[in-house]
Structure 1
Amino acid sequence: MNSKLNIVVRVDLDHAKALVIAKGHITIHSVNALYVVVKRANSLREGLDLELDLSRARVDHEALEMLHTASNTHQLPVRIDPQQAPCTISVLAPRREPAAARHLVAA
Structure 2
Amino acid sequence: MAWLIFGLWPSLLSLGVGVVVLDLAVQGALISNQHLIFGLRPQARARISTIFMGSMFVGGAAGSAFATAIWFRSGWSGVVMAGIAAAALALVLKLTERRASLRVTEAE
Give the structure-1-normalised TM-score.
0.30
Higher alpha-carbon Rg: 2
Greater percentage in helix? 2
Structure that is richer in strand per residue: 1
